[in-house]
Structure 1
Amino acid sequence: MARRALILVEGHRSIGLLYVKAAQRLGLHLITLSADPAQYDYLAAERLESIRVDTDDLDALIRECARLRATYDIAGITGFSGLDESIYATVGKLCRHFDLPGPNPASIEQCCDKFTQRQLLAAAGVPMPAYRLAADAMEVESSATEISLPVVVKPAVGSGSCGVRLCRNVDELAEHTAYLLAGEPRWRSPRILIEEFAQGPQYSADTMGNEVIAVGATDFDCPPHFVVRGSIFPAPLTDYDHKRIADVSLSCLRALDLAWGPANIEFRWTERGPVVIEVNPRLPGWTTPRLIQLAYGIDPIAEHLKLVIGEEWDLRRRHSHTAAARFLAPEGDGVLDWIEGDSLAVAIPGVAEVKLYVEPKTQIVRKGDFRDTMGHVIAASPSHAETEAILQRAVDLIGWSITPFPTLGEQKQSAALQPSRTGEGGAR
């Protein structure tokens, strides 16, 4: 009898291993298809099967999956986005081709285009910030004038707050527009979204199918960028406000035809109540799946995999705790001299996890997005106040030192002090 296997298209540095462990508990053999399997450390560490294939080439993926079906019973196919959420549409197309459970690829594609997403949500009457689409610097400026500064400027396609900035005046607007139009390759596109800055606390709803399974609160820091500082589940909301977020979340799922699988919806609570900042057609990475499990007793990764392989899921809450995460953010760029205290922090009762992403001698170069964190601490307890206290005690035990990069003047001075080698060995 052929061995049941799960195919993962690409991997994920923060939650990839959690998917591996959950799949193994379900008795599945893991096979990762990736353009570069070496970038995922856990594949080698866990001795997992991986195959190098161009994951941007749907035909190549279909051929590889067909080849694997000759050896394995392919129970399901899923994948991860990294910085390119189009991979979920590719997964949907593979599932359709092989008649396996999966998301609607057309729904994923229209959701991943932030402007199209906005249009669909607006047509459904979902509360949102004002928005415009621009193709060049002149259109960006006129759109910002119509909406009124400050505005949030971002690529029309992307994730992880990459390329997202709050522009508070015309100089910042011009600078960030130029950066997006001439910056990283994935942003060299004449499609820039300009949005009203919705001011207020940030919340998120995590859904599975047509059910809201968790509502959390998130803190951001490092303006004018949006770098996550921490998150907590459940969000400290009244039952009425929780229901308002849940109701808007379900309206988003209907408007975007996202009735299958996980989704993550980001909100700001403004004078108008909850307004939708973004809908992501996926389970979020980093600490969120772990926080949901600690807070509610629901393992969203395991339940997602059950859906992927066609088994019955169970989204019932087992308990009601408060779980929170705090991210460690550097205060400046430079070389990390040392970072320590993690072993002391993890020993505190109530601390569920301490993870450092960097090692000494790492160059720290902040980018203004999710990549600017150096680690995280997770704590959980029966109460909000106790969880926050545990988390703070743990974070206070972790310290680090960063030596700033030398300034241009310091570099010139250092070069001037270097002994000259001119004429060494005599004239020739």
Structure 2
Amino acid sequence: MILVLVSPRQRGLDLSGVDDCVVITGGPVPSGASELVTVADYRTETLVAAGLELARRHRFERVVSFAEADVVAAAQLREALDLPGQRPVSALAYRDKALMRKHSLAAGLPGPAYRTVETAAEVREFVADQGLPAVLKPRSSSGSVGVRILRSTADLAELPDQLADHVVEQFVPGEVVHVDGLLVGGKPVFALPAAYTDLACLAHWEDSGSGSLLLTAEHPWHGPLTEELWRVVAALPAAEDLVLHAEFFVAEGQRPVLCEIASRLPGHPIPPMINRALGLDLRATWLRIAAGLPVDVTAIAGAAVRAGSVANFGLPPRHGRITSVPTDVPPWVHDLEVLAKPGDVWDRDRYEARKSGDFVVTWTVTADSEGELRQRIQESADLMEGKVGWQEIISVGGAR
């Protein structure tokens, strides 16, 4: 019997490849579940309590999770039930940005000065010592929620007095890239470096579309990023099987610097890009691995070596009401997912709560070369921008 944790963001999960799955979900109902428990408050404590209650009736052999929201809960349940898989000491190191920085620096990996902070006064002390710019972020957030880039004394003055569980660190210049990887039985299966487009994971702050494109094996960053991913994994507390999503800063002629790393599936729409590149379903593959079922790691590793030019892209929500969505695309655009419908509204509260992984439409693009791929990313973005219509929301009194 397998216990599967399904976060509210896991759309369309199919469990048919694994027998006898009991599911705790925060909203979506996956197909193929033997038993389903829905929790309204999808957080670590609630998930662990629900899992332990289910364990009174079921003999679980594995616990599977997919998202940032349930990695620690899954690890705590494995510990409590003495099951194989990632345990809390490892899960917390991949979840807590201060802990991951501590482990990586202790292993001699490059990284910025950092400090855990609880108050704005502590941030100002750090800046007085290390200078500006600096980056302030919650220790356990995801999707760029709560991230602040501090560039001036005015930015410091706007900080609230209390900042519970935050970390501040030196700003690292360079381009932000991501590397997605898979570790099975303690051995690397693949690492797929990718370059973000334009504003990367902060693009939604500017209402701008964003995505990323896989770097071919010939790209000068491919080798160093692959090596650095496995150095970081070796520096953090071990787990036999891991699906990984990491971000690094890269600058010409310098060694990559870890931004952060997570032991979970990458956020949408990166998985469709990986699926197309490797010819598999990453989520279904991870489900089998985490459930202790066999997968052909040799075939997966070979597909990663042969991966061609693939990119993903998406358009974020705006403050307003959607009036139209795309229905047709060129033949080199694939995996179109329309995640909103005409009439959907992002009022002020919903708009301000958006994350970097929130999109109204996503897709992938293929090409024969990186140059053509970049051209098609821009062409498809312009095309989709024209197909997604928005109407301003005008409240009582005329305010927008």
TM-score (norm 1): 0.78
3-state SS in 1 of match to 2:331: coil
1:249 to 187, 211, 229: 229
2:45 corresponding residue in structure 1: 56
2:135 corresponding residue in structure 1: 152
Note if 1:66 corresponds to 2:56.
Answer: yes
Mapped contact 1:76–1:308 kept (Cα < 8 A): yes
Note if 1:320 corresponds to 2:307.
Answer: yes
Note if 1:295 corresponds to 2:269.
Answer: no
The code of the aligned residue for 1:168 comes to R
The code of the aligned residue for 1:343 comes to T
The code of the aligned residue for 2:301 comes to R
| CA pair 173-358 structure 1, distance change in 2 beyond 3 A | farther
Q: Deviations over 1:91-144 (max 9, x none)?
A: 123234445431122111133221121111111111122222222111111212
2:260 corresponding residue in structure 1: 278
3-state SS in 2 of match to 1:93: helix
Mapped contact 1:130–1:195 kept (Cα < 8 A): yes
1:92 corresponding residue in structure 2: 75
2:178 corresponding residue in structure 1: 204
Q: How much is the aligned-residue C-alpha RMSD, in angstroms?
A: 3.1
1:174 corresponding residue in structure 2: 157
3-state SS in 1 of match to 2:174: coil
User: Structure 1 CA distance, aligned partners of 2:336 and 2:368?
Assistant: 19
User: Structure 2 CA distance, aligned partners of 1:385 and 1:46?
Assistant: 42
Mapped contact 1:207–1:263 kept (Cα < 8 A): yes
The code of the aligned residue for 1:257 comes to P
User: Structure 2 CA distance, aligned partners of 1:101 and 1:9?
Assistant: 16
1:107 to 90, 96, 107: 90
User: Structure 1 CA distance, aligned partners of 2:117 and 2:24?
Assistant: 36
2:112 to 104, 124, 129: 129
3-state SS in 2 of match to 1:126: coil
Q: Deviations over 1:131-177 (max 9, x none)?
A: 222221111112123222221111122111110121221222332x3
User: Structure 2 CA distance, aligned partners of 1:276 and 1:229?
Assistant: 24
2:195 corresponding residue in structure 1: 217
User: Structure 2 CA distance, aligned partners of 1:156 and 1:195?
Assistant: 11
User: Structure 1 CA distance, aligned partners of 2:289 and 2:33?
Assistant: 25
| CA pair 368-132 structure 1, distance change in 2 beyond 3 A | farther
1:269 corresponding residue in structure 2: 250
Which is worse superposed, 244-253 or 396-405? 396-405
Moved over 6 A (4+): 45-48
1:186 corresponding residue in structure 2: none
Note if 1:305 corresponds to 2:287.
Answer: yes
3-state SS in 1 of match to 2:58: helix
User: Structure 2 CA distance, aligned partners of 1:213 and 1:244?
Assistant: 11
Aligned residues: 377
Mapped contact 2:92–2:99 kept (Cα < 8 A): no
2:355 to 369, 393, 406: 369
Gapped regions of structure 1 (runs ≥ 5): 182-188, 413-428
Note if 1:8 corresponds to 2:4.
Answer: yes
| CA pair 110-8 structure 1, distance change in 2 beyond 3 A | same
Matches within 5 A, 1:74-85: 74=60, 76-81=62-67, 84=69
The code of the aligned residue for 1:385 comes to G
Shift of residue 302, structure 1, vs aligned partner: 3.1
3-state SS in 1 of match to 2:89: helix
| CA pair 336-216 structure 1, distance change in 2 beyond 3 A | same
Shift of residue 75, structure 1, vs aligned partner: 5.2
Shift of residue 213, structure 1, vs aligned partner: 2.8
3-state SS in 2 of match to 1:28: coil
User: Structure 2 CA distance, aligned partners of 1:111 and 1:193?
Assistant: 15
The code of the aligned residue for 1:216 comes to A
User: Structure 1 CA distance, aligned partners of 2:178 and 2:380?
Assistant: 25
User: Structure 1 CA distance, aligned partners of 2:372 and 2:71?
Assistant: 38
3-state SS in 2 of match to 1:289: helix
3-state SS in 2 of match to 1:264: strand
| CA pair 238-152 structure 1, distance change in 2 beyond 3 A | farther
User: Structure 1 CA distance, aligned partners of 2:182 and 2:151?
Assistant: 37
Mapped contact 1:132–1:193 kept (Cα < 8 A): yes
| CA pair 231-401 structure 1, distance change in 2 beyond 3 A | closer
1:190 corresponding residue in structure 2: 164
Shift of residue 361, structure 1, vs aligned partner: 2.9
The code of the aligned residue for 2:55 comes to C
Q: Which structure has the bigger radius of gyration?
A: 1
Which is worse superposed, 282-291 or 379-388? 379-388
Shift of residue 338, structure 1, vs aligned partner: 0.8
